[in-house]
Amino acid sequence: MSHKRMPRRKAAMAVGGVAALGAAAFLLPHASASQDAGQDGRTPGGTGTARTLRATDAPGLDARLRRLLGDAFAGSYYDSGRQRLVVNVVSGDDNVVGQAEQAGAAVRQVANSAAELRAATRTLTTRAAIPGTSWAVDPRTDKVLVTADSTVTGAAWDRLRSAVRGLGPGMATLKKSAGTFRTFASGGDAIFSQAQGGGVRCSLGFNVTAADGRPAFLTAGHCGVAAEKWSDTQTGEPTATVDRAVFPGEGDFSLVTYDDPGTRAPSEVDAGDGRTVPVTRAAEATVGQAVFRMGSTTGLHDGRVTGLDATVNFQSETDPGGVDTVTGLIQTDVCAEPGDSGGPLFTQDGGALGLTSGGSGDCTGGGETFFQPVTTALRATGATLGGAGAGDQAGAGDQSGSGSGSDTGSGSEAGAGVGGDPAGGGGDASPAPTDGSRTGTADDGSPALTGTR
């Protein structure tokens, strides 16, 4: 977005850019491999032939299977290569398998139940809440994936490794990340504030309408905790005020209301180069799903969802010996950097998924990034998707998706806290990089959008 001062009753700090998305799509999902079904349509260890479905339909089928299978359900993920939802089951009952196959899923029998994996993550929370660690259930391996960043060494590493071993064989995988888990405060379109210790820069996520009808937007909670007043220019007068902020704890989100009640804030994502993606609904993420992230620091990048209901343990921003733990996040392999906090995670067809929280790595070497689910933020704040006056008023109760990942994830690297770039840089949102851009078709066969990892 342009960082010149916007007229009142115009799109102050709007997510949208200056031109609507035309017939030619421009984002391409990252074509990463997942655990594919066999040539006969059967998944390893499974039976039957699954039906193809679009990625946008996967959350609905996942929710149906949870209800249908009960305790036999052990997680699911979307196989983008074959356009199928793979469901894990722990029961060898032919009736259970048949029900899942009849519903349209590819069935895979696994050893660890969802309850056992959730219990493992609770044990880790008790024994290994060490700064620089994270964990999430990975339905593709039927294990808990535990990650330690480069700061976890010596006694801390020994403690973590002991906790993982204590879970028993076949229950968890431990890996090291070359980067450092950090917050990405500094962002769609950039927003700025002055806080104790200097300036703060974040990204606007999605425009919404607050419960009382005021125009507002969602961004990262650690941004809202850091500062109360926000502007769309580095040195401009504040144009929005934090209404509610959650961080750390059960999420990382803020509801920020525009000071001018006449602000028209469009329901769209600025994808750089004057291009926009209309946002039509809030949706739940699915493991394996192709996603896109926009941030004012690094522009447009794409990747896949790798975990849900993620937990991350960050070094506290206020207590050198403390830990800031955030739960309930979406884990991805999309890159991000400081300044991208709060920016939107979305699908090529306009589904709003999340708000950038943090992670490790960068957009040169890659890394992991974690996101606050939009649906959770909408329910908690009572807001509805779409800017006031924008004509896109999908209410929180109408949001598509059905909590597809409550059992398929439970830990990962989320970013939070303020430690981002000081408000010294900034300018217009960065255009999507051109190196490595891709074109083609999306998971569901629709026209492709172009982007980079």
Active site residues per annotation = 222, 252, 341
Q: Which two tokens stand for residue 302?
A: 């794409």
Interatomic CA distance for residues 131 and 391, integer angstroms: 44
Structure tokens at 9: 């009753």
Backbone angles phi, psi at 245, to 5 degrees: -140, 135
Answer whether 384's CB lies under 8 Å from 375's CB.
Answer: no
Dihedral class, residue 267 (left if φ above 0, else alpha if ψ from -120 to 50, else beta):
beta
Residue whose structure tokens are 């993420």: 285
Lookup result for tokens 């849900």: 308
Ramachandran class of 436: left when φ > 0, alpha when ψ lies in -120 to 50, beta otherwise: left
In the beta sheet, which residues pair with residue 301?
293
Annotate 262-301 with b (16+ C-beta within 10 A) or e (fewer).
ebbbbbbbbbbbebbbebbbbbbbbbbbbbbbbbbbbbbb
